[in-house]
Amino acid sequence: MKADEASLSRLMVMAQAGNRQAYTTLLSECGHWLRSYYTRRVPPAVLEDLVQETLLALHQKLATWDSSRAFLPWLAAIARYRWVDQLRRIYRRQEDELPETLTSPDEEGAVSARISLESLFSRLPAQQAKAIELVKIEGLSVKEASGLTGQSESLIKVNVHRGIRKMATMIEKA
Amino acid sequence: MARSTDNLIAELVDGLGPVRPLRLAHGVAFVLGALVFTIAAVALVAGIRPDVESALAEPVFLLATGLFLILGLAASATVVMMGRPQVGNNHSGWVWAAAMVGLLPAAAAAVLIGDNAAATNSTSTQGFGCLLAASGSGLLSFAVLTWWLRRGAPTSPESAGLIIGIAAGSFGIFAYSFHCTAIDIVHIGLWHSTAVLVSAIIGRLAVPRLIRW
């Protein structure tokens, strides 16, 4: 079945009424849609985790959709929220090295994720984009990034902090 | 996450029961109920100002309370809608109402610049009491809106917290205005507006952690 708006809306109405067969199909189709949505946005290593987190969120927030509204914009809003949440978690992580992110062997997915990051970087001040790129993507330590860019270590930290916050805001408003 | 997505889907399907969609009308009804209850509580506990009781309210009172009511309604409606996520939703309608209310402190500042005596007429003791009572009067609206968003799925918790604070503060000062006997623009522009500002700050700081999901 093609996951079009009308079919998904019908399945959702049935799922809200407690129809388990419809719900199985709906979640499966949403899983496909979410994989496609996240492929260009996140590194392959975290893609499936994010799909599962979003399906869980969808399950917990089933009541927030009603049949008078389109289904896919609702699903996309939940997907985006989970994505922003994931970005925040990356920001909060204390380690400087890159944990399995863009160093995944799945090069195609990594390139797609990188394309998405590039579009966000292009809207950040150059110093912030550089700091995030070196520390969070290249995996350099704050000290190494400081040496390469000429920014002080504290400025590197501030730029990473501010840049990731701005990226999260851009995604929320996208 | 070790489990496969298929296993997760099977678990979620097992846990499915009939779900009643969140209705905007219910959210609006809860908020208006909280407002009516708050006005009744102010009337019972503190009493209604005489000119309102005799239906001869001052124009300044009518204008100011009207502005706070509109801001409270606009912000509350925004919060209620924020419970239902949707890409493309615009939650900025309340900003225009806030801009209108912003005229009150601007007018107060203009009066104060031109007439220092006005500042002394509007005592800080009375103003601070008004600020506290108004903030307290907004608590029920604050709680109802926060509860609503805990049921919903707000995708901008920080904005939602700020707007909840603005809505609660506006409703609080609207309700308390039925008791507050001050009619000068300095008192209203300074203290009544500050009640909304304080509530907004509290909402922005306290609410996001309560409504994250």
User: Is B101 in contact with B71 (CB distance < 8 Å)?
Assistant: yes
Largest Cα–Cα distance of chain A, in whole Å?
A: 60
Tokens 């959709």: give the residue. Answer: A65
Q: Select the residue from A9, A52, A60 to test the B interface by mutation, using most B Cβ atoms within 10 A.
A: A52
Indicate the pLDDT class of residue A116, thresholds 50, 70 and 90. Answer: low
Measured in degrees and rounded to the nearest 5, phi and psi for residue A139 equal 85, 15
Report domain extents, chain A.
5-92, 107-173
A91-104 pLDDT per residue, tens: 666 444 444 444 44
Helices (H), A17-152: 20-39, 44-60, 71-92, 107-121, 126-132, 142-149
Instruction: Place A146 in a pLDDT band, splitting at 50, 70 and 90.
Output: confident
- Name the average pLDDT for chain B: 90
Nearest C-alpha of chain A: how many angstroms from B70? 26
Residue ranges per structural domain of chain B:
23-211
Whether residue B85 contacts residue B213, with contact meaning beta carbons closer than 8 Å, is answered with no
Minimum distance, in Å, between the CA of residue A28 and any CA atom of chain B: 7
Give residue B88's region: left, alpha or beta (phi > 0; psi -120 to 50): left
As given in the structure block, the two tokens for residue B44 are 């019972």
Residue among B16, B20, B155 minimizing CB distance to A77: B155
Q: Class for domain A107-173, per CATH?
A: mainly alpha
Would you state the structure tokens that stand for residue A148, as one six-digit string? 């390469």
Window from A126-130, A133-137, B19-23, B103-107 with minimum mean pLDDT: A133-137
pLDDT at B127: 83
pLDDT digits (tens, 9 = 90+) for B167-183: 999 999 999 999 988 87
Residues A11-20 have a mean pLDDT of 95
Query: Tell me, what's the pLDDT at A100?
Result: 44
Chain B partners within 8 Å of A83 (Cβ): none
Contact yes or no for A31 and B5 at CB 8 A: yes
Rounded Cα gap, residues A119 and B60, in angstroms? 52
When pLDDT is cut at 50, 70 and 90, the band that residue A159 belongs to is confident
Residue A97 is predicted with a pLDDT of 47
Interchain contact, B85 vs A81, CB within 8 Å? yes
The domain A5-92 is placed in CATH, from the list 2.40.50.140, 3.60.20.10, 1.10.1740.10, 1.10.3720.10, at 1.10.1740.10
pLDDT at res. A42:
85
Proportion of chain A above pLDDT 70, given as a percent: 79
Tens-digit pLDDT profile for residues A27-71 = 999 999 999 999 888 888 889 999 999 999 999 999 999 899 999
Nearest by CB to A63, from B1, B16, B19: name it: B19
Question: Residue B213 is nearest to which of A60, A70, A80, comparing CB atoms?
Answer: A60
- Token pair for B50: 């005489």
- Residue B2 CA to residue B16 CA, distance in Å, equals 22
Distance, CA of A62 to CA of A20 (rounded, Å): 13
In percent, how much of chain B has pLDDT > 70?
Answer: 93
Residue A109 scores a pLDDT above 90: no
**Summary mean pLDDT of chain A:** 81
